[in-house]
Amino acid sequence: MDSYEQITPAVELQDRVTAFQESLRQDGVDGALIVQKTDLFYFAATAQQGWLYVPAAGAPILMIFKEFERAQAESTLEDIVSLGSPKKIPDIIRERGHQLPARLGMELDVLPVNLYRQFDSIFTDSTIVDVSTAIRLIRAVKSPYEIQLLRNAAACSDAVAGKVPELLREGRTEIELAGELEAYARSLGHQGIVRMRLWGSELFYGHLMAGPAAAVPSYLASPTGGAGVNPMIGQGPGFRKIQKNEPVLVDYVFALNGYLSDHSRIFAIGALPDELMRAHAAMLEIQEEVKRFAVPGAISGEIYEQMVASAEEKGYGEWFMGAGERRIRFTGHGVGLELDEFPFLAKGQQLPLTEGMIIALEPKVILPGKGVVGIENTHLVTASGLEPLTKMEDEIVILAG
């Protein structure tokens, strides 16, 4: 595999920029300055350090501080310049024949205050407005090119989960098993870094935990937490030894060429108690229900409510997606270059599904003191409902004890 295999085609960038420009014009924004690394990669095909100016009409200008030659090799945009200081951005915009924007869009959901103030002092006559929701709405609907990259990532998710039976043995610590599985993921080209947009959120590969440790809640907006290796991290695998007859959750994200596949499977050394087997089967039933009714036009918040109602009906209301007052109020999320993309299948969400959206659907039961069962697959929204991008069977994998 060559490191420059995945150069985003020029036509892809054109479509994305065009969609964004339509959105800017609708919102009365004259131009946007993209600075966040993931959005920059989405619109410019490079994550080198720089600034992308997208006027409401006309060609985008990619200004690169570091590393210019690398950005030139990666980006299929036409207008790429080397720039030593953001103070010169207004000059570049004017040189291209644009007026400076009266209303300038920026990513105010992620941009730190001090950096914002720097741009505010550079664009003294502009009002800076938030275009992050507009960007996220565009990014939520994937092109065929992106869907293929997501299929590639999902195939790697299957491969990683498929490797678990070879590595899982009684008495190994969660963290040891995690390390070996991660090494295998790396050998397949996993990029390591898993991007999350929500400030203060982070994830290291995912959640590999067993038995009661998997049911330990954490700060993260996720149904599962985990003990983690220390209070600074506070999630994920810890030093607990994996035992027989307990569910081993392997909820890992495969990050390939920027795109993420979110995937959970349950393993066990020896049989699991019936209670857990039944709960898992109930979660698979919920997944099948959603696959049918999550069609274009379905409202994301209503899908969440339907899943909650179904879990309650099946007797799992108390432990569905966590336990207690602060359990998370979502059952699935969009995924792409970031793990927390639109749409959110979450309480109160009004966004309707559209063909080409990608949803990591994760009905899970968290039984305090016992463990976690359930499923997660990354799906494509099609005209007839959800199509899983993954191939591996959803059932619990029981290994000889």
Q: Tell which positions 84-113 bind a second copy, by CB under 8 A.
A: 108-113
Helix or strand holding residue 164 (H, E): helix 144-167
241 to each of 32, 40, 173, 175, 184, how far by Cα in Å? 51, 42, 4, 9, 21
Query: Which residue from 15, 67, 289, 302 is in contact with a second copy, where contact means CB under 8 A?
Result: 67
List the beta bridge partners of residue 252.
Answer: 206, 263
> What character string, x for contact with a second copy (CB under 8 A) and - otherwise, covers 7-46?
xx--------------------------xxxx--x---xx
Q: Are 352 and 375 in contact (CB under 8 A)?
A: no
Q: Is 281 in the site for a second copy (CB under 8 A)?
A: no
Query: Which residue from 199, 350, 369, 400 is in contact with a second copy, where contact means CB under 8 A?
Result: 199
Of 175 and 399, the one with the shorter C-beta distance to a second copy is 175
Within 205-264, which residues bind a second copy (CB under 8 A)? Answer: 205, 216-219, 225, 227-234, 236, 238-240, 256-258
Residue 120, both tokens = 């505010």
Q: Is 143 in the site for a second copy (CB under 8 A)?
A: no
* Residues 6+ away with beta carbon under 8 Å from 148: none
Residue 160, both tokens = 């990683």
Q: Is 1 in the site for a second copy (CB under 8 A)?
A: yes
Q: Are 379 and 359 in contact (CB under 8 A)?
A: yes
Q: Is 180 in the site for a second copy (CB under 8 A)?
A: yes
Query: Which residue from 51, 123, 184, 320 is in contact with a second copy, where contact means CB under 8 A?
Result: 184
Of 183 and 309, the one with the shorter C-beta distance to a second copy is 183
Q: Is 81 in the site for a second copy (CB under 8 A)?
A: no
Within 355-394, which residues bind a second copy (CB under 8 A)? Answer: none
Closest CA to 310 of 329, 282, 330: 282
Closest CA to 379 of 180, 157, 218, 205: 157
Residue 307, both tokens = 């899943």
The C-alpha atoms of residue 323 and residue 364 are separated, in whole angstroms, by 11
The C-alpha atoms of residue 135 and residue 107 are separated, in whole angstroms, by 8
Give the nearest distance from C-beta 260 to a second copy in angstroms.
Answer: 11
Residue 225, both tokens = 């937490």
Give the nearest distance from C-beta 109 to a second copy in angstroms.
Answer: 5
Write the DSSP symbol of residue 8: P
User: Interacting stretch for a second copy, rule CB under 8 A, among 3-11, 242-250, 363-371, 393-401?
Assistant: 3-11
Of 45 and 272, the one with the shorter C-beta distance to a second copy is 45
Of 172 and 244, the one with the shorter C-beta distance to a second copy is 172
With CB under 8 A as the rule, give the number of residues binding a second copy: 80
Q: Is 302 in the site for a second copy (CB under 8 A)?
A: no
User: Interacting stretch for a second copy, rule CB under 8 A, among 183-191, 242-250, 265-273, 364-372?
Assistant: 183-191
Helix or strand holding residue 115 (H, E): helix 113-122
